[in-house]
Amino acid sequence: MRYPIAERFKATQGEGAHTGVPMAFIRTVGCSVGQKVCTACDTRFDRSYADLGGGTYTEQELAEWVSPYLHACITGGEPLDRDIRPLAFALNKAGVMVHVETSGTRVPPWLGPPLTVPGFRLIAKDNGDGTQAWLPCGFWVTVSPKPGWQPEMLQAADEVKVILGGLGDGPGWPDIAQAVAWANETFPHSRQRPVYVQQRNGINEIDREALDEALRVVDENPALRLSVQLHKFLRTR
Ligand code: SF4
């Protein structure tokens, strides 16, 4: 399969449970949510930016580019607008853990439940004869809910990241009470699904006032965790 990629870069992960992990980021073209909903969206996903490593690549080409990194984040745009299974399997075969950052508005029929080992889940692979086999895959799912988020994706997530105040002024953005409700959900087999709150920053700058608000929210709701976009402090991205 060939994937339209807006940009690629390697950087230290600055958000969520894998903050500090060297990560190869692969940003797919297109987003079914769109910037009419997310008016403060800070990503360019409208086309391939050749100067930023964008283009059309096979899964093997992308897996070779990721090496020797051990973690790759498929992000967007909305990566689940397309079938990313061939890319995920190629990355896993190369020893790379796959991370997916999604709006939670898409529920792929091939996405299976998390396994007891964090970050691993079953993914349906087509056998080519009309049947499917469910295979374990290193596939960490981060849901940052946008309007239209689906409850199934909140259940399937390995972590949830709520942007305080959302990225737009329309309806459907999760609020603090919703984030706390998600954080207080319990799962079988002692599965953890942390819920982060993250301040809404500028494209390259930390918004100190918004960060103080996020600190206050976590202080008052200790079921939540703080995600600060470390890369904007480090100016690595
Ligand atoms: S879902 Fe994400 S990539 Fe798409 S418009 Fe919203 S913030 Fe931007």
**HEC profile of the chain:** CEEEEEEEEEEECCCHHHCCCEEEEEEECCCCCCCCCCCCCCCCCCCCCHHHCCEEEEHHHHHHHHCCCCEEEEECCCHHHCCCHHHHHHHHHCCCEEEEEECCCCCCCCEEEECCCCCEEEEEEECCCCCEEEEEEEEEEEECCCCCCCHHHHHHCCEEEEECCCCCCCCCCCCHHHHHHHHCCCCHHHCCCCEEEECCCCCCCCCHHHHHHHHHHHHHCCCCEEECCHHHHHCCC
Greater confidence (194 vs 116) lies with 194
d(CA 65, CA 10): 10
pLDDT for 28 = 98
Does the CB atom of residue 78 touch ligand 1 within 6 A?
A: yes
Backbone angles phi, psi at 179, to 5 degrees: -60, -40
Q: Per-residue confidence at 203, pLDDT binned at 50, 70, 90? A: confident
Q: What is the pLDDT of residue 113?
A: 86
Q: What is the pLDDT of residues 224-233, one digit of tens each?
A: 999 999 888 8
Residues in the chain: 237
| Ligand 1 nearest atom to the CA of residue 31, by list position | 4
> How confident is the model over 191-205, as a mean pLDDT?
91
- C-beta atoms surrounding 95 within 10 Å: 12
**Ligand 1 center to 170 CA (angstroms):** 14
Q: What is the mean pLDDT of residues 199-213?
A: 91
Residue 81 Cβ contacting ligand 1 at under 6 Å: no
Calpha distance 113→120 (Å, rounded)? 9
pLDDT tens-digit series, residues 133-155? 999 999 999 999 999 999 999 99
Nearest to 91 by CA among 79, 81, 108: 79
Question: Is the predicted pLDDT of residue 237 greater than 80, yes or no?
Answer: no
Alpha-carbon distances, residue 39 vs 42, 182, 229 (angstroms) = 9, 25, 19
pLDDT reading at 42 higher than 90: no
Q: What was the pLDDT predicted at 106? A: 98
According to the per-residue pLDDT averaged within each range, which of 41-45, 99-103, 186-190 is highest?
A: 99-103
pLDDT at 235 over 90: no
Give the per-residue pLDDT at 169.
Answer: 93
Percent of the chain with pLDDT over 90: 86
Stretch 12-25: mean pLDDT, rounded? 96
Residue nearest to atom 5 of ligand 1 (CA): 34
Question: How far apart are the C-alpha atoms of 184 and 224, rounded to whole Å?
Answer: 9
Give the model confidence (pLDDT) of 146-189 as tens digits: 999 999 999 999 999 999 999 999 999 999 999 999 999 998 88
Residue 76 Cβ inside 6 Å of ligand 1? The answer reads yes
How many whole angstroms from 32 Cα to the centroid of ligand 1?
A: 8
Pairing between β-strand 97-102 and β-strand 132-143 as defined by DSSP bridges? parallel
Residue 190's pLDDT is 78
